[in-house]
């Protein structure tokens, strides 16, 4: 099949939903647009894909150029967004990516971003972000929460040896809600291969010493550690 003017050219961009927990707060990385369409608005880091790069390479490049933050090893595609009116500049399709990881470092504006900052997800969702980035962010948050229910990623936010209360703190930050300690403990310790007891307790604190655990070898939590019920 040859190219035809019946199929007009459109542009492809990437946007990155970069999520972490900083000081106990579920946070997203935003960049302030310094030029072009919607200058001055906060947005997810992103930009146009170069002709000689694949989508993941473009996402990693744009994230680091605009915020100074290097993407973690795992950067996954979230979804594609192609509403004809999503970008006033013309027909633009964005392939959004998702990163969920600890210790991602401080943000500094660069490239065409005048500033970059970690913002609480709750605050970011109340902002009027550029383009359709509120929608992309909501989808990214929903995917991240689902990942914590069926994968051990939450344990990466804990030290190598941690208590169930430490782990619960990660889930509470991501969901923005208090969880019943006994119910969470039952689910976390009942998931096969998720947590390995070390036979030691954490020092200090009041009351009964808390048991220490490390993350197990399971790549999926079964049964899922559902938070909604």
Give me the pLDDT at residue 33, please: 83
3-state secondary structure of 117: strand
* Same domain as 25, residue 106: yes
Residue 81 has φ and ψ, to the nearest 5°, of -130, 115
- The answer to whether residues 215 and 195 touch, using CB atoms and an 8 Å cutoff, is yes
User: Are 171 and 80 contained in the same domain?
Assistant: no
In a domain, 229, yes or no: no
What confidence tens digit (pLDDT) does each residue in 185-203 have?
999 999 999 999 999 998 7
Q: Does the pLDDT value for residue 205 go beyond 60?
A: no
Give, as one character, the DSSP assignment of residue 218.
-
Question: In the prediction, which pLDDT does 6 show?
Answer: 75
**pLDDT tens for residues 141-157?**
999 999 999 999 999 99
* Cα–Cα distance, 44 to 74 (Å, whole number): 18
The CATH number linked to 20 is 3.90.79.10
Reported as a single tens digit per residue, the pLDDT across 31-59 is 998 777 778 899 999 999 999 999 999 99
Please state whether 27 falls in left (phi above 0), alpha (psi between -120 and 50) or beta: beta
In order of 6, 52, 132, 175, the CA distances from 27 in angstroms are 44, 32, 19, 11
Q: Which domain holds residue 155?
A: 151-215
Instruction: Work out the percent of the chain whose per-residue pLDDT is above 90.
Output: 77
The pLDDT tens digits for 54-98 are 999 999 999 999 999 999 999 999 999 988 877 788 788 999 999
Tokens 């383009």 identify what position? 131
Distance CA 108, CA 66 (A): 8
Residues 136 and 165 in one domain: no
């Amino acid at each position: 099949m040859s190219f035809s003017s019946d199929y007009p050219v459109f542009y492809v961009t990437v946007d990155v939903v970069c999520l972490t927990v900083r000081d106990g707060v579920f946070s997203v990385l935003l960049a302030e647009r310094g030029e072009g369409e919607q200058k001055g608005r906060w947005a997810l880091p992103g930009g146009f894909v170069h002709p000689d790069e694949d989508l993941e390479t473009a996402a990693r490049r744009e994230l680091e150029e605009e915020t100074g933050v290097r993407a973690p090893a795992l950067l996954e595609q979230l979804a594609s967004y192609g509403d004809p009116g999503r970008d006033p500049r013309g027909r633009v399709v964005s392939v959004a990516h998702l990163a969920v990881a600890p210790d991602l470092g401080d943000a500094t504006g660069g490239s065409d971003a005048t500033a970059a900052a970690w913002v609480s997800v709750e605050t970011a969702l109340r902002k009027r972000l550029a383009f359709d980035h509120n929608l992309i962010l909501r989808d990214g948050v929903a995917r991240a929460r689902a990942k914590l229910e069926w994968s051990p990623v939450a344990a990466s936010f804990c030290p190598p040896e941690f208590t169930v209360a430490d782990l619960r703190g990660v889930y509470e930050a991501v969901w923005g809600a208090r969880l019943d300690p006994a119910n969470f403990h039952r689910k976390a310790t009942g998931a096969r291969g998720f947590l390995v007891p070390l036979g030691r307790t954490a020092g200090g604190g009041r009351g009964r010493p808390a048991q220490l655990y490390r993350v197990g070898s399971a790549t999926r939590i079964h049964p899922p550690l559902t938070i909604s019920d």
